[in-house]
Amino acid sequence: MRAPAPTASGWGSAKPEARTLRVRLNRMPVQAPPDRPPHHPRASIRMDARLDAMTRPKVDDLARRFHRPRAAVLSHIMRWGLSYDQGGAPDPGTSQGPVRHLYCYVDADLYDAVRKAAAAAGVQLAPWLRQMVRHTCQ
């Protein structure tokens, strides 16, 4: 049997709505995918974690152990750090050895919350993050 030729209103005499809702594939009716809202990517910020010789291997070890990228491990540590009650004076953030740069993308809202928490603790973001990494691995 010959397929109908396309017309201005769709294929053959079928209505355009029927054509878009149902497709014939190997003589089996298949439903068209439902209309979904367009995917909006979440805002993210590229940050430098600036870990030291003690904290970088800990992040690497956690990433290997949990089979996750370092960025995911750092994001989890940052979320945990926001809920962690530090109690007492914050670590001044002296790095142990040279700083090892670790660039990663994090959620913009998480970055802002961590930056505000670090400012409230009286330190900058990198020392705050190093302190949280040290606390997770104790």
Model pLDDT for residues 29-72, shown as the tens digit of each residue:
556 556 666 666 668 888 888 898 889 999 999 999 999 999 99
pTM, entire model: 0.64
Quick one: CA torsion of 63, 67, 69, 75, rounded to 10 degrees? -70
Residue 89 three-state SS: coil
C-alpha angle 123/72/103, rounded to 5°? 60
pLDDT of residue 20: 45
How far from chain centre, in Å, is Cα 13?
48
Residue-wise pLDDT for 86-137, tens only, equals 654 456 556 567 788 888 899 999 999 999 999 998 899 999 999 999 888 7
Nearest to 107 by CA among 71, 66, 135, 138: 71
Q: How many residues does the chain have?
A: 138
Query: What's at 92, amino acid-wise?
Result: P
What own/partner pairs with CB < 8 Å and gap ≥ 24 does 21-29 have?
Answer: none
In the chain, where the domains are located: 44-136
CATH 1.10.3470 matches 44-136: no
Contacts of 16 (CB under 8 A, 6+ apart): 9, 10
